[in-house]
Structure 1
Amino acid sequence: MSCQQEAQLCAQELAGQLYDEQIHWVLFFCSAQQDIQLLADHLQLCLPDKVIVGCSTAGEITPLGYRQGSVSAVGFSREGFSIETALIENLDQFDFNSAQHLMSRMLECCQHQQKAPVKGHTFALALLDGMSEHEEVVLNTLSAAFGSIPLLGGSAGDDLDFTHTKVVYQGKTYQNAAVLLMVNTAFPFMVFSQKHVLETDEVFVATEVDSEHRRVYELNAEPAAEVYARAIGVPLSELTPAIFAQHTLSVRIAGEGFVRAVQSVNEDGSLSFYCAVERGIVLRKNKHLDIPNELQRLLDQVNQELGEQQLILGFDCIFRHLELKAKHQLGQVSDLIAQSPMIGFNTYGEHINGIHLNATFTGVAIGY
């Protein structure tokens, strides 16, 4: 990791920590306070023989715990991994044929260089532009094409500015795009996705919706923001990201609850969401559990299943960060992170097997 604010110094510090002849792939997560294109340029200059991919963040997970304004990174060696990478541009035009062609090409390359049989020893990582509004369709399409290969990842952030989220592929930044990695390894790994909410019986029906822009105008045939504020006991004027983080909603898909977090309240009384919303969906009010306890439980489960880990790659919703901050628990969780071999970032949405999530800690742990 590096906290250097000047792009060249930051790249040099990261390159010094990552330089190893065996390392061939570098994955980095860059604060929106940095000029990510300038950083990518310098990283490529410092590490000219490496494949470098990454994205902008809403906060970083580093060896020192949570950080803002930093860059975290991880290198993968040829000795332990075979990784195929790809760039998907124009997410709004991505379809199943494109996904099948992409998967076939990546799989063929992976099989030539595989460290272990593809089945059971391969997972896919996706980094998507978090402002594209196309995550659901792209992830569903990729998941269908990749079949039994686990697919996980996160949506790029920009420190809650909601203006420019970017992904990086081989030294260049892109918007309305995704970076994909197919990772094959003989090391044992565990893919996980943990939420810290329980659904209640208090429900709201989305009766007027702009699904293309993830905007709900009415809940139960009343102005959406008014209904939401009344339900959580907060004045309409006090609805902020910190409040949204502590009062999430869920939707049931195939009997399982998935969080649908509010992104913002709009001047017309509508609510914008991070994930897909459609007319007629039933949203449930959530009860939030204690994040530090839930994270410790997950880490204990990882230890039990894998033993010692060399890496936990984590995609942690920015709403969890905001909730921890509001509840004065940020330092406690940051310390837990620092005690683990964890790298990652705070996202605008997490991905697991074709589903776009909010308010989860999703990732993959890799053992020895």
Structure 2
Amino acid sequence: MVHMDCVRKAHSCTTDPRKAAQEFHAMVSQPGMSLVIFFCSSEYHLDALAEEMKHLFGEVLVVGCTTAGEIGPAGFRDHSLAGASFAGSHFRVVAGQVDHLQQFEVDAGQAFAQSLLHKLMAEGAPADVDNSFALLLIDGLSLREEPVTRAFQTALGRLALLGGSAGDGMKFDKTQVYWDGQFCSDCAVLVLVVSRMPFRIFKTQHIVATEDRLVVTEADASCRVVKEINGLPASQEYARMLGIDASDLNPARFAAWPVVLTIGGTTYVRSIQKANADGSLTFFCAIENGLVLRVAKGVDLLQNLEQAFAEIRAEIGPPQLVLGYDCILRKLEITQSAARERIGEVLQENNTVGFHTYGEQFRGVHVNQTLVGIAFGANAVETSHV
């Protein structure tokens, strides 16, 4: 039996915050909502947006964050509001917030995640790896994604965790998460979901490693700054590997030539945010002394995306909704690509709603330059219950 109305997606492109919230509410509102999730531009007057969202949705659980660009039925957008609602008939949800991330302690984080899991179980929703997952939204400038993600995933065991780091366009000034009717920084929201709908968690990237090795010889992991590579100033050595001058480094170069780390045979992208005046490089994730990285290059992003969705469709059929968290560096590459329109069409054809991030979280690892997400099929699993 097909249940197409158990999730509803929306995308408002008006720049007035209250009108955007009203348009969004009109499109996603449905009886018995258990969760509403949204992604919005930081260009909105966020206090006004928060106030209107609280007024419209009342006691419904609503979570969201600011972005580096929004993805929805209207395609790739800036200064818009996109998201979806989930019906309580098919989704059982619990959620909570962790603030003061600068003082985050792993033990406390694990206890928080375990308490949410116990709450879900206590409400009569049997949670297991086949019917449950976790969503994370986190301040993208907190620099705390690694310990938070690891702690939560450890506590959740085999339940898959995925999420995105909030953005603020290309300003890198203030990123915020929405919880309990207001936007806040230095915080994270964890959402646990038991679903009657079939779903598939996925991660895709179009990055392949070259043979060029970079050994991190001096780094400040807490600040995500690499000072030296191969014993030389980091930006100078990285630029030399690319065959360019360090003065020519820019976001487009970083998007085209990230670096990768191999862990247990799996390749994880470690993307560069910016080159600094002192010759160091700031990354989107923590880099430690002694790590051996490889320069990487992009292959066909469109082909990789089409293949990822083909695999999803083969497993669960055409998705009625995909929540997608797509790296800001992929957005920069897509913007300059001749295939931009077709890439947007592929996302729209697969009912993708999401945002461009300052980082992605996938099964306990903080990653870069990937698209991570969860795709929901159209047919309810009648043998499970919520």
TM-score by length of 1: 0.97
**d(CA) in 1 for partners of 2:151, 2:117:** 16
2:74 paired residue among 64, 71, 74: 64
- What letter corresponds to residue 330 of structure 1 in structure 2? R
1:308 aligns with 2:313: no
Relative distance call for 1:114 and 1:308 in structure 2 (3 A) is farther
Please name the residue that 2:175 is paired with.
165
Please name the residue that 1:239 is paired with.
249
* 1:179-194 aligned within 5 A: 179-194=189-204
2:332 paired residue among 298, 322, 341: 322
**d(CA) in 1 for partners of 2:24, 2:337:** 33
**d(CA) in 1 for partners of 2:299, 2:181:** 40
Please name the residue that 2:8 is paired with.
none
1:366 aligns with 2:385: no
Cα-Cα RMSD: 1.4
**d(CA) in 2 for partners of 1:16, 1:60:** 19
Q: Name which of structure 1's ranges 116-125 and 278-287 shifts more when overlaid on structure 2.
A: 116-125
**d(CA) in 1 for partners of 2:106, 2:219:** 26
Please name the residue that 1:227 is paired with.
237
* 1:294-305 aligned within 5 A: 294-305=304-315
1:7 paired residue among 14, 17, 25: 17
Asked if structure 2 preserves the Cα contact closer than 8 Å seen for 1:129 and 1:156, the reply is: yes
**d(CA) in 2 for partners of 1:100, 1:279:** 27
Unaligned runs of 5+ in 2: 1-10, 380-386
1:100 aligns with 2:83: no
Asked if structure 1 preserves the Cα contact closer than 8 Å seen for 2:203 and 2:372, the reply is: yes
1:206 paired residue among 205, 208, 216: 216
Q: Secondary structure at the match of 1:287?
A: strand
- What letter corresponds to residue 111 of structure 2 in structure 1? H
1:273 aligns with 2:273: no
Please name the residue that 2:341 is paired with.
331
Please name the residue that 2:49 is paired with.
39
Unaligned runs of 5+ in 1: none
**d(CA) in 2 for partners of 1:61, 1:111:** 33
Q: Secondary structure at the match of 1:309?
A: coil
Q: Secondary structure at the match of 2:322?
A: strand
Q: Secondary structure at the match of 1:227?
A: helix
Encode CA deviations 1:249-269: one digit per residue, 9 max, x unaligned. 011222322111110010111
**d(CA) in 1 for partners of 2:79, 2:244:** 31
Shift of 1:224: 0.9
- What letter corresponds to residue 282 of structure 1 in structure 2? V
Shift of 1:117: 4.5
1:144 paired residue among 154, 158, 163: 154
Shift of 1:166: 0.5
Shift of 1:107: 1.8
Please name the residue that 1:121 is paired with.
131
Q: Secondary structure at the match of 1:153?
A: strand
Asked if structure 2 preserves the Cα contact closer than 8 Å seen for 1:123 and 1:182, the reply is: yes
Q: Which ranges of 4 or more aligned residues in structure 1 deviate by more than 3 Å? A: 112-119
**d(CA) in 1 for partners of 2:314, 2:14:** 37
Asked if structure 2 preserves the Cα contact closer than 8 Å seen for 1:114 and 1:184, the reply is: no
1:52 aligns with 2:62: yes
Q: Name which of structure 1's ranges 263-272 and 115-124 shifts more when overlaid on structure 2.
A: 115-124
Q: Name which of structure 1's ranges 6-15 and 20-29 shifts more when overlaid on structure 2.
A: 20-29
Shift of 1:116: 5.3
Encode CA deviations 1:308-365: one digit per residue, 9 max, x unaligned. 3221100001111111222333222111111111100000111111100001110111
Asked if structure 2 preserves the Cα contact closer than 8 Å seen for 1:116 and 1:186, the reply is: no
**d(CA) in 1 for partners of 2:221, 2:116:** 32
**d(CA) in 1 for partners of 2:151, 2:121:** 22
Asked if structure 2 preserves the Cα contact closer than 8 Å seen for 1:64 and 1:337, the reply is: no
1:355 paired residue among 328, 352, 365: 365
